[in-house]
Structure 1
């Protein structure tokens, strides 16, 4: 049963009821004023690919891999949720849903803000003052704007950012 052992190493015990694990899961619904309204799909909508053209390059979206080193407040769910919302706002993206999971006993947080333009994810290690984030957005969104929000929200001593243009050369 190598699959079972691998899942157990990830903290998933298939022989235990998942409701018995010590974790706090918080769902943050989108306020009705920010909700995306469904509209009928037309043939012109079906052809939109939301690919980006920049510097003579055509790609699906910008994916930022962000490391926050020497950061604070990485165990504060409400603060993390507010920071993710602010990242979405300044990036001119559309929030669909936020889901955060609070781990015990170290207080780390793992979660995602699901966007129409893709996502922002976070995983934090407060005991090491470290957080790993992915910011991936397509279309007209401006993911680089999230970097300053993260700097202000978590006061890291260092921020490391790697950029990857997803889907490069596809079209």
Structure 2
């Protein structure tokens, strides 16, 4: 053990050696390489949840508009590749909202599993029938927008005959 003091002639080293520095840099690089894919998956999932939440809020707002205006209000849903939804509020302002790039509307069906393009809310708050809108994450490997039952990648936004909205995870 070398002591560094006033009367010692030993050469004192304060700092780290190059191999120690390289080991620290390698450990930090490894941690960054592992965390980037995890963070990107979390961001994609957050975009999906945000888009689904916004769509469910639009359905609730459209129902409220129909009841308050005593007139039928529609939410038009466009499927992948231009996934979006459009509705008109109580003041007559049209709101057209596109889904984020990595989020797709896979299907819009009624209670009999028949494709539909719009969900209509009537003056009493009810709909023409039960509907289900499946919103999924786009597969980054091939750009497809289908429900993956092995690794659940989507949500289903349902409205019942009374017009109530429910959001459930695809399982």
Q: Structure with the greater relative contact order (CA < 8 A, sep ≥ 6): 1 or 2? A: 1
Structure 1 and Structure 2 fold alike (TM over 0.5): no
Q: Normalising by structure 2, what TM-score? A: 0.22
Structure having the higher Rg: 2
Greater fraction of residues in strand:
1
Q: Normalising by structure 1, what TM-score? A: 0.22
